[in-house]
Amino acid sequence: MGKGNESLGIRLRNAVVTLAMSLAASAALAAPTVQDIEFSSRPGSKFEVRVEFNEPPPDFKTYAIEKPARIAVDFPGTTSSLEQKRFSLPYGNASKAVV
């Protein structure tokens, strides 16, 4: 293999690496993002959580744990643009939320 072919191979490899990095970055930017979250009281010792996304979120999965009591809602591939991660909740047994 001559020097011209080696140089072409290096340039081609660099171009492939750059393309792969660009695709990975654009995929991360295209992920649904949590833009806002609101909590409000409801009758009967209940409360409501409203989550605002920049685009429709993916199908979610829920999990519940009894001891200690926890409810988790997972939106796979979603990021958060919220300024904070933890929120205090004043609703009966609900004391905090983590996004």
pTM: 0.64
Q: CA 38 from chain center: how many Å?
A: 17
pLDDT tens digits for range 44-87: 888 899 999 999 988 999 999 998 888 899 999 999 999 999 99
Q: In the chain, pLDDT over 70 holds for what percent of residues?
A: 71
The helix (H) or strand (E) run that includes residue 85 is none
- Residue 59 and residue 75 in one domain: yes
- Return d(Cα 1, Cα 66) in angstroms, integer: 66
The helix (H) or strand (E) run that includes residue 39 is strand 33-42
pLDDT reported for residue 15: 65
Are the CB atoms for 80 and 33 separated by under 8 Å?
A: yes
Cα torsion through 21, 24, 25, 27, rounded to 10 = 160
- Residue 11 and residue 39 in one domain: no
Domain ranges, residue 14 = 1-30
* Number of domains composing the chain: 2
- Residue 43 and residue 64 in one domain: yes
